[in-house]
């Protein structure tokens, strides 16, 4: 993929259009009733309202021209068919195959990957049903009633997010816990109160070399051994990995190893065996509904014209905001406490995919690419950062996500007020409050500047019937494909993450330095690092070895 060419017809037309729109306030645009039909998109069960975005019919036409010029459709076709769109690693990116129908055929290196996907799903479901029914027992004959999932990044964020979102579906007699942080406290907290004789530890690492996960796994294995003996540990370990040989050498029974294909990246891997612990908790049927929701958006992406295509229009909107309008971030605010982890999940999905400064061919992109993704559930977010959104000196596009039917509504008043807040924030961000309006409300003159809201702050409202497994799958796939579309427009590879690797490599070296014998002045081999790092190593070692005094 080549970098975006600012001299191209579509890019130049959008730049000129941006200049023509300058000074046009959303207050002027939202009064146009025709915008509702133009800027409301239906994606499976999701309703996307883009009417509070800085878009006109002309903007949409020009954005579609850009998608056509950048051959977004061709890129999507290549991805869905299994071509190696992950150019720097020479691999396909076939996360969509993980939820493809059984009768689909997608070949990689002459083998049908869909058949293998469904074989693995059946193995996962078999294990999940055995645990959920109480049939699976540990080394002492005690039924397994607790599952601790170890993993980091894509091996953690998706399953943890979904397990919290669908907590009402969790098996009442099977406890699911997660540990992802290298801080030993995180593992201790995850194991606290559990009994090794009834606990299964699921170690998820695609490479089975991830330091954070393997350090935690060693600690969990020692904890298991204390409870069931060294010979019984194997009955309490499961590995989810793309390196089954390494997992076997580490001590996991081959029958308890579930493969992750090399052609799926971690942040896109929720629908693979990475979701095994989640499947145990919510059940194979609900997990299947989650995959079905993802599949519905996959099919929408593949078969819907650009102007009505939800993921395509959102990807175009991200490029419009970032590369043309200068927005540096995207706030995601789900009006559901169950989706508290959703912004964190999207941080990895979008920032790891779009945080690139060179194209897939290695040329400088030349324009700003992916911005910061952040957020929190509404209404908590309203009392944390919405002041910044309404009256800060910069404009931050927002996604406001809501559901028409509540999961819980004690007293029958919570949910209406929750949705009222979502709608009120969307309108307030767009139209603001003028000085004249503030004065008309009786605001003292000296306070008018403080109570004036500039408005013109864009938002997308995403509405769904309820937070079901299917709808959650649709939301996940919507953002996955939005991210891929934006990458195709910028010409970058959304499926690698080389920027993550340097720090991990250095950390391995630093671990050895921190444990090395000090030189005469108290630091290991002074001069091996730049001065400030050498000083910090020495400082750490002095306090570490003195017990912190």
- Rounded to an integer, the average pLDDT of 379-390 is 97
Mean pLDDT across 492-509: 87
Query: What backbone phi and psi angles, to 5 degrees, belong to 203?
Result: -100, 115
Residue 527: CA count within 13 A, CB half-sphere: 4
285: Cα separation from own chain's centroid: 23
Q: Which residues are within 8 A (CB) of 12 and not within 5 positions of it... i.e. 6 or more apart? A: 6
Mean pLDDT of all residues belonging to the chain: 94
Distance between CA atoms of residues 336 and 422, nearest Å: 11
Closest listed residue to residue 377, CA positions, set 352, 422, 340: 340
Structural domains of the chain, with CATH? 9-69+304-433+447-490 (3.40.50.10490), 111-287 (3.40.50.10490), 498-545 (no CATH)
Give the model's pLDDT for residue 529: 59
Determine if the peptide bond prior to 74 is cis (ω within 30°): no
pLDDT in tens, 392-448: 999 999 999 999 999 999 988 999 999 999 999 999 999 999 999 999 999 999 999
Q: What tens digit of pLDDT does each residue of 183-237 get?
A: 999 999 999 999 999 999 999 999 998 888 999 999 999 999 999 999 999 999 9
Q: Which pLDDT band, with edges at 50, 70 and 90, does 526 fall under?
A: very low
264-314 residue pLDDT tens: 999 999 999 999 999 999 999 999 999 999 999 999 999 999 999 999 999
CB 371 within 8 A of CB 327: yes
Cα–Cα distance for residue pair 388/360, rounded to 1 Å:
35
Q: What percent of the chain has pLDDT over 90?
A: 86
- What string of DSSP letters covers 1-67? -PPP-TTSHHHHHHHHHHHHHTT--HHHHTT-THHHHHSEEEETTEEEE-TTSS--HHHHHHHHHHH
Rounded-to-integer distance, Cα 400 and Cα 415, Å: 15
Summarised one tens digit per residue, pLDDT across range 88-114 is 999 999 999 999 999 999 999 889 999
> Which are the catalytic amino acids?
352, 383, 504
Q: What pLDDT sits at residue 193?
A: 98
d(CA 190, CA 39): 45
- In SS3 terms, 98-111 reads as HHCCCCCCCEECCE
Distances (CA, A) of 33 to 4, 28, 38, 424: 34, 11, 9, 19
Query: Which pLDDT does position 540 carry in this prediction?
Result: 84
* Rounded-to-integer distance, Cα 537 and Cα 523, Å: 7
Say yes or no to pLDDT of 501 above 90: no
Find, among 328, 307, 362, 364, the residue nearest to 66 by Cα: 307
User: What phi, psi does 461 have (nearest 5°)?
Assistant: -100, 125
Cα 339 from Cα 328, distance rounded (Å): 23
Residue 502 reports pLDDT greater than 70? yes
Inform me whether the pLDDT recorded for 161 exceeds 90.
yes
d(CA 376, CA 388): 14
- 46-to-166, 421, 491 alpha-carbon distances in Å: 18, 19, 28
Inform me whether the pLDDT recorded for 64 exceeds 70: yes
Confidence at residue 446, expressed as pLDDT on a 0 to 100 scale: 97
Q: Nearest-CA neighbor of 22 among 267, 324, 392, 445?
A: 324
Report yes or no on whether pTM surpasses 0.85.
yes
Strand 372-375 to strand 329-334: parallel, antiparallel, or no bridges (unpaired)? Answer: parallel
User: What pLDDT, on the 0 to 100 scale, is given for residue 519?
Assistant: 53
Based on DSSP, count helices (H) and strands (E) in the chain, helices before strands.
Answer: 21, 13
Q: Bridge-partner residues for 402, per DSSP?
A: 463
Helix pair 469-490, 157-165: axis angle to 10 deg? 140
Angstrom distance (rounded) from CA 65 to CA 63: 5
Alpha-helix residue ranges (DSSP H) falling in 204-273:
211-228, 244-250
Q: Which residue has the tokens 């992406």?
A: 301
- Residue 177 has phi, psi (to 5 degrees) of -130, 160
């Amino acid at each position: 993929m080549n970098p975006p060419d600012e001299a191209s017809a579509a890019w130049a037309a959008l730049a000129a259009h941006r200049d023509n729109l300058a000074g046009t306030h959303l207050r002027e645009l939202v009064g146009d009733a025709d915008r509702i039909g133009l800027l409301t998109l239906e994606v499976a069960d999701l309703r996307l309202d883009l009417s509070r975005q800085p878009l006109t019919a002309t903007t949409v036409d020009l954005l579609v021209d850009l998608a056509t010029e950048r051959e977004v459709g061709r890129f999507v076709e290549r991805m869905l068919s299994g071509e190696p769109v992950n150019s720097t690693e020479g691999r396909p990116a076939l996360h969509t195959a993980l939820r493809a129908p059984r009768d689909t055929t997608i070949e990689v290196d002459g083998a049908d990957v869909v058949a293998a996907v469904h074989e693995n799903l059946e193995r996962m479901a078999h294990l999940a049903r055995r645990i959920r029914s109480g049939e699976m027992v540990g080394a002492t004959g005690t039924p397994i009633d607790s599952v601790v999932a170890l993993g980091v990044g894509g091996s953690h964020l998706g399953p943890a997010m979904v397990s919290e979102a669908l907590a009402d579906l969790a098996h009442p007699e099977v406890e699911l816990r997660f540990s992802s942080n290298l801080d030993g406290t995180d593992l201790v907290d995850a194991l606290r109160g559990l009994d090794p004789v009834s606990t299964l530890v699921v170690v998820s690492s695609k490479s089975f070399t991830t330091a954070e996960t393997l350090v935690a796994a060693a600690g969990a294995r020692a904890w298991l051994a204390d409870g069931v003996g060294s010979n019984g540990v194997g009955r309490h370990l499961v590995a989810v990995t793309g390196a089954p040989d390494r997992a076997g050498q580490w001590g996991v029974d081959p029958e308890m190893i579930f493969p992750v294909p090399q052609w799926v990246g971690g942040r896109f891997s929720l629908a693979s065996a990475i979701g095994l612990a989640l499947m145990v908790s919510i059940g194979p049927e609900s997990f299947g509904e989650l995959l079905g929701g993802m599949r519905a958006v996959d099919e929408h992406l593949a078969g819907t014209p650009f102007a009505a295509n939800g993921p395509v229009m959102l990807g175009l909107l991200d490029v419009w905001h970032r590369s043309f309008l200068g927005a540096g971030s995207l706030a995601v605010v789900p009006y559901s406490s169950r989706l508290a982890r959703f912004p964190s999940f999207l941080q990895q999905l979008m920032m790891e995919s779009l945080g690139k400064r060179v194209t897939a061919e290695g040329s400088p992109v030349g324009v700003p690419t992916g911005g910061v993704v952040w957020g929190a559930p509404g209404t908590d977010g309203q009392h944390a950062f919405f002041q910044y959104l309404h009256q800060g000196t910069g404009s931050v596009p927002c996604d406001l996500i809501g559901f028409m039917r509540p999961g819980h509504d004690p007293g029958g008043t919570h949910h209406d007020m929750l949705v009222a807040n979502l709608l009120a924030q969307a309108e307030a961000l767009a139209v603001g409050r003028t000085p004249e309006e503030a004065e008309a409300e009786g605001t003292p003159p000296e306070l008018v500047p403080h109570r004036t809201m500039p408005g013109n702050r864009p938002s997308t409202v995403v509405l769904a019937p309820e937070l079901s497994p299917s709808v959650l799958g649709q939301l996940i796939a919507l953002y996955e494909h939005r991210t891929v579309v934006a990458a195709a427009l910028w010409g970058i590879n959304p499926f690698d993450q080389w920027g993550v690797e340097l720090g991990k490599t250095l950390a391995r070296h630093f671990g050895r330095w921190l444990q090395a014998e000090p030189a005469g002045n108290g630091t290991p081999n002074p001069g091996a690092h730049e001065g400030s790092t050498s000083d910090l190593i020495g400082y750490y070692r002095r306090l570490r070895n003195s017990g912190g005094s």
